[in-house]
Homo-oligomer: A and B are copies of this chain.
Amino acid sequence: MAASASSSFTLSHQTILSHPKTTPATSIVVPVNSKVNGALLLKSRRRRVGGVGRVESRAAVVRAAAVEALETTEKDQVVEKSVNTIRFLAIDAVEKANSGHPGLPMGCAPMGHILYDEVMRYNPKNPYWFNRDRFVLSAGHGCMLQYALLHLAGYDSVTEEDLKTFRQWGSRIPGHPENFETPGVEVTTGPLGQGIANGVGLALAEKHLAARFNKPDAEIIDHYTYVILGDGCQMEGIAQEACSLAGHWGLGKLIAFYDDNHISIDGDTAIAFTESVDQRFEALGWHVIWVKNGNTGYDEIRAAVKEAQSVTDKPTLIKVTTTIGFGSPNKSNSYSVHGSALGAKEVEATRQNLGWPYEPFHVPEEVKKHWSRHTPEGASLEAEWDSKFAEYEKKYPAEAAELKSIITGELPAGWEKALPTYTPETPGDATRNLSQQCLNALAKVLPGLLGGSADLASSNMTLLKMFGDFQKDTPEERNVRFGVREHGMGAICNGIALHSPGFIPYCATFFVFTDYMRGAMRISALSEAGVIYVMTHDSIGLGEDGPTHQPIEHLASFRAMPNILMLRPADGNETAGAYKVAVENRKTPSILALSRQKLPNLPGTSIEGVEKGGYIITDNSSGNKPDVILIGTGSELEIAAKAGDELRKEGKSVRVVSFVSWELFDQQSDEYKESVLPAAVTARVSIEAGTTFGWQKIVGSKGKAIGIDKFGQSAPAGKIYKEYGITAEAVIEAAKSVC
């Protein structure tokens, strides 16, 4: 764990040189170690840096490197050239798009180079090789860094032609990293802080699988998760949440590079961000290393990675002090290089400064040659692993089958038979409890199911009884304790889901607190991460906790979100159906809105019905022409059913429809939809203990939507239902008024 004395060192509070917040701009010489033309370029320009101390130490490193130059010239040259290739691919792509973020790739090119060229194990021709190291660019705006690296490494997803289409319609390399667009990109980042939290999820997945499947004679799971995050990520609360958990879990194979460049969009971070990040991460139980010269201190970076890998019981933060836009004589170290093209003039000046005589998008031959080894090496790595796994499979067939299911995402045949079914005679129960029955039934047949709650396990009913807690020393277990960290929880689950197709992570809190984690949930939807969100206490039905805890607008707000299934089951069969749908939809996340209160098992509900999204549970009409259609979801389906019974007693023909998932209903054929909601029947009443917003689509201009368009109240649930008019009487009255 001792760091190389000259290049990196273990952080100690006393020795940190603090970033001076108000140092006025001074003119100093910044040595740029560019040996491209056989000469050390020394370029003088005005810039604000972290005081003479920082610059001196950087210069010292440069000199130290020069001493060793005799032996390492050729290697150094190609590294330097590779690093500048990365910088200019980013510069050129952003310039061509006239849009993008050149500053980060220019500053992070050295660490990027070392990671992809010297440290990481991957197979460029199979980006999905299971035992690859994972890389996450949490500072996703700097995506040209990753695209340049994928290009050099030989990934087919980023050709020279692709680089020229950056940020254009139909491009395979969009404005922020998107796993569903670019093979080689593991997760979707851009919204700050998500990536580091995804990284925690990826590292959790590795630690879990390694503990569960590795054998003393067969270490088949063994890979690292590397993350680059910036000042923006560091300020986000989600990053704190996830990193606190990473420290708690002791995720030793998580190594995060903090691009410490002191610049964010509004300028110097000193205007809003003066905490000691190093000390905070120590408080979180991380190992912290500071690389003072991230611009040219390659050996410092290498030593830091080595040290980080040697610390196996803690995640490591490598703070790498860099210059944003390194190499740009007039824009580096300023916000102006963060999010805009440099402009032709400054591109030219940067070419001059870094001694780069090439055309845009050019990759020098020696750089190409240097990187070309990754294709055969990657193939070897995978082949080696394949034979290792073949051996494992022979020795441990049962474990291998489970692991294979997680690797491939192929669900075990007949898994859905594990789901419980219910009859109207089964005693009623809260759907949160029924959910726990489903989770526990599924855990027996789905090897990739794991998850937990944000400190509400006993309220959300999410504990898997056959397993213990996933903890630092028991990582093979499957109950994850997220603490009160909803946003981090969601993003960690995205990381788990995207680690391997067969992982089915679930996470839980009160439905109203989706407000805390919506950023992560939207990324689930966008990045096709099939996370299951177990959201209990789904309405005023939670009672006394009052309006801060009672969701009103949440069902509507998720129905409006693309590629996410909003499911609100009414009873046992529907809860089982919701799980069937959620497990099957591996590229679409599902939200299950579940009741705190007890609900009866209703006649007519079914798993198959749920799969259609909306379906008839009872009907006494004929010819698809009921007098009135009553539509309910979740806990209010019971009310609709009751009102239906009453109206039938009065001689009406009434259809009662469960509308458990709007998205699934939308996917059905027109014929099916007409069979449930015939256009000719405009007498429709819906009831749901939430906003009526959106229901007009279902009940039509002549129908009535019963719901709640104001905040809730603190009182026993039954009382609120009555006072808010969420009653069978209200449905009956509305039905009579429309038919």
Contacts and interface: CB of A to CB of B under 8 A. Distances in A.
A674 interface: no
Interface stretch (A31-39, A233-241, A625-633): A233-241
B519 A715 contact: no
Contact of A523 (B175, B235, B456, B548): B548
A709 interface: yes
Contact of A548 (B140, B471, B488, B701): B140
Contacts of A193: 484
Interface stretch (A145-153, A165-173, A218-226, A352-360): A165-173
Tell me the number of copies of this protein. 2
A565 interface: no
A10 to B, nearest CB: 16
A198 interface: no
Contact of A455 (B99, B265, B518, B720): B265
B241 A236 contact: yes
Contacts of A99: 543-544, 716
Interface string A475-490: 0000001111111100
A619 interface: no
A591 to B, nearest CB: 13
Nearest to A248: B274
A272 interface: yes
A284 interface: yes
Contacts of A697: 693-694, 696
A175 B544 contact: yes
B513 A545 contact: no
Given A557-B553, A562-B553, A694-B694, A178 B546 contact: yes
A247 B277 CA distance: 13
A597 interface: no
B169 A720 contact: yes
A691 B560 contact: yes
Interface string A236-266: 1111110011011000000000000000111
A107 interface: no
A723 interface: yes
Given A275-B248, A545-B176, A714 B167 contact: yes
A273 B485 CA distance: 10
A499 interface: no
A453 B235 CA distance: 14
A233 to B, nearest CB: 8
Given A276-B283, A713-B174, A455 B237 contact: no
A41 to B, nearest CB: 32
A715 B169 contact: yes
Interface stretch (A184-192, A411-419, A602-610): A184-192
Contacts of A269: 483
Interface range, A side: 35 or more
A97 interface: yes
B275 A484 contact: no
A725 interface: no
A497 interface: no
A711 B562 contact: yes
Given A190-B549, A556-B693, A701-B700, A471 B519 contact: no
A516 interface: yes
Contacts of A694: 556, 560, 693-694, 696-697
A235 B175 CA distance: 32
A300 to B, nearest CB: 24
A188 B720 CA distance: 20
B557 A560 contact: yes
Contact of A471 (B248, B271, B714): B271
A335 B403 CA distance: 37
A706 interface: no
Contact of A715 (B167, B273, B335, B719): B167
A710 interface: yes
A522 B691 CA distance: 14
Contact of A714 (B174, B455, B556, B691): B174
| Residue in A100, A237, A563, A701 with the greatest tally of chain B CB atoms within 10 Å | A237
Interface string A168-212: 111100111010000000001111110000000000000000000
12 contacts: A169-B720, A190-B548, A191-B513, A244-B275, A266-B453, A266-B456, A513-B519, A526-B711, A553-B562, A556-B560, A560-B691, A562-B691
Given A266-B458, A556-B556, 7 more contacts: A236-B485, A264-B483, A265-B455, A276-B284, A279-B283, A487-B487, A694-B697
Interface of A: 97, 99-100, 140, 167-171, 174-176, 178, 188-193, 231-233, 235-241, 244-245, 247-248, 264-266, 269, 271-280, 282-285, 335, 453, 455-459, 469, 471, 481-488, 512-513, 515-516, 518-519, 522-523, 525-526, 543-549, 552-553, 556-557, 559-563, 691, 693-694, 696-697, 700-701, 709-711, 713-716, 719-720, 723
